[in-house]
């Protein structure tokens, strides 16, 4: 472990360790002790100036700082070049999705990072196709029905089977497992025969013709589109659809960096701290795409408020507002009569510790000059006379 420079040790209790570590890395090699001390004093002063004053309305400033630029956002989605089905929700709709902590979002996406040598481009197209959810209709070349014998003959596309490393036998086995009440077998000429028996055999075969097209064959369920893209020196697979549970089982996936834009999925597999980080990153990504610059501390405050209970809660009456201890604060947001009646029935007590409830009953709010209280000792005049 590298020891900290002697001149910086006096700032250990004054400045966070991370800032001191960064400062030590950036110091000139031959800086004199006096210069290091001067730089340390300057950093300490900057750090002190960056702190919020006691009683400052940080929540209100954050709400204004995000709300005002939010009114200037566009409402559009954009398309990935070359893949018309891949839409990405951006702008205000995406920001609302994140802040409301919606479990079902409009466009789920994953960014799949790969281990070497695949991250350098080896078999990148093949890997991308293996991740995509594939239905039987994508391997299908032709279907013909023999009415007299109540059977259906299926011819497969050999090129697509080869590209995705599938075999006729494997597909026949999957179809036989998925389709009940029909005898499905692989023929010597590599066609698949499906035969039904009984009074409703012909109707069953005709219904099977459409039903069989949607049988799941391979890939990750929920991933409808894939797009390999090059970012700096490595390849990443961007997907439409998200399924971390099945994806992380693949041996070529870098599970330390692979992410999804579904906050609840991240919370489930990585925990609440990862969900908090995902909220920050997703909000910053939306703002960056719109060319809006907001101080990251406002975003961090919102993310903290959404995750401080140990689970992801949206900024809504069903989320963080529901968790407020104050009856009046909950009533001020929406459905006030319901909150007040429920609180009366439960015998709840409001301590009036926050801002909104004090505003409602016309008391000084605990902010700014209303925050400190003056305590004095009152002299007992009777006791003073006896003395």
Q: What pLDDT, on a 0 to 100 scale, did the predictor assign at position 93?
A: 86
Return the percentage of the chain with pLDDT > 70, whole number: 93
Q: Please, which pLDDT band fits residue 266 given cuts at 50, 70 and 90?
A: very high
Kindly indicate the confidence band of residue 32, based on its pLDDT and cuts at 50, 70 and 90. confident
The mean-pLDDT minimum among 118-132, 273-287, 300-314 falls in 118-132
Confidence at residue 382, expressed as pLDDT on a 0 to 100 scale: 61
How far does CA 322 lie from the centroid of its chain? 22
> Per-residue pLDDT tens for 151-193?
888 888 888 888 777 888 888 888 878 777 777 888 888 888 8
194-220: buried (b, 16+ CB within 10 Å) or exposed (e) per residue?
bbbeeeebeebbeebeeebeeeebbbb
What is the residue-averaged pLDDT of the chain? 84
- 379 versus 173: the higher-pLDDT residue is 173
What's the predicted TM-score (pTM) here? 0.77
The yes/no answer on whether domain 134-218 falls in CATH 3.90.79.10 is no
Is residue 313 very low, low, confident or very high in pLDDT (cuts 50, 70, 90)? very high
Say what the pLDDT of residue 155 is. Answer: 85
Question: Could you report how far apart the first and last alpha carbons of the chain are, in Å?
Answer: 67
pLDDT at 1: 40
Distance CA 363, CA 370 (A): 9
- In this prediction, residue 283 carries a pLDDT of 92
Q: Is the pLDDT of residue 150 over 70?
A: yes
pLDDT per position as a tens digit, 317-355 = 888 888 888 888 888 877 889 888 989 999 999 888 888
Domains of the chain, by residue range, sit at 6-50, 57-106+261-323, 134-218
| pLDDT top residue among 99 and 168 | 99
CB 86 within 8 A of CB 79: yes
Provide the pLDDT for residue 307. 94
Looking at residues 280-292, what average pLDDT do you find?
Answer: 88
Position 82 scores a pLDDT of: 52
Task: Give pLDDT, residue 302.
Answer: 94
Q: Is 233 a residue whose pLDDT tops 90?
A: no
For residue range 70-94, what is the model confidence (pLDDT) as tens digits? 887 776 656 555 555 567 777 888 8
CATH topology (fold) of 57-106+261-323? PTS-regulatory domain, PRD (1.10.1790)
């Amino acid at each position: 472990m590298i020891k900290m420079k002697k001149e910086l040790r006096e700032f250990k209790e004054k400045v966070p360790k991370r800032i001191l570590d960064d400062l030590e890395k950036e110091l000139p090699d031959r800086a004199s002790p006096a210069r290091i001390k001067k730089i340390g004093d300057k950093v300490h002063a900057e750090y002190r100036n960056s702190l919020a004053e006691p009683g400052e309305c940080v929540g209100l400033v954050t709400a204004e700082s995000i709300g005002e630029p939010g009114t200037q956002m566009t409402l559009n989605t954009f398309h990935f070049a070359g893949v018309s089905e891949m839409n990405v929700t951006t702008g205000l709709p995406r920001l609302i999705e994140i802040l409301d902590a919606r479990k079902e979002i409009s466009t789920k996406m994953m960014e799949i990072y790969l281990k070497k040598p695949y991250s350098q481009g080896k078999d990148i197209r093949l890997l991308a196709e293996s991740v995509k959810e594939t239905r039987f209709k994508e391997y299908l070349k032709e279907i013909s029905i023999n009415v007299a014998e109540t059977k259906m003959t299926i011819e497969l596309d050999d090129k697509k089977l080869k590209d995705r490393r599938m075999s006729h036998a494997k597909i026949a086995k999957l179809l036989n497992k998925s389709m009940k009440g029909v005898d499905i077998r692989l023929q010597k000429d590599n066609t698949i025969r499906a035969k039904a028996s009984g009074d409703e055999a012909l109707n069953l075969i005709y219904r099977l013709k459409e039903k069989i097209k949607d049988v799941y064959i391979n890939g990750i369920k929920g991933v409808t589109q894939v797009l390999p893209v090059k970012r700096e020196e490595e390849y990443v697979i961007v997907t439409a659809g998200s399924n971390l549970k099945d994806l992380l089982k693949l041996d070529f996936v870098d599970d330390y960096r692979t992410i999804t834009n579904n906050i609840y999925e991240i919370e489930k597999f990585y925990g609440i701290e990862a969900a908090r980080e995902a909220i920050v990153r997703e909000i910053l990504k939306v703002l960056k795409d719109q060319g809006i610059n907001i101080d990251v501390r406002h975003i961090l405050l919102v993310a903290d408020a959404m995750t401080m209970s140990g689970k992801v809660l949206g900024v809504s009456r069903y989320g963080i507002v529901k968790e407020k201890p104050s009856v009046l604060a909950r009533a001020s947001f929406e459905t006030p009569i319901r909150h007040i009646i429920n609180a009366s029935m439960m015998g709840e007590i409001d301590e009036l510790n926050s801002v909104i409830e004090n505003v409602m009953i016309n008391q000084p709010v605990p902010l700014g000059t209303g925050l400190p209280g003056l305590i004095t000792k009152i002299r007992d005049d009777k006791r003073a006379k006896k003395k």
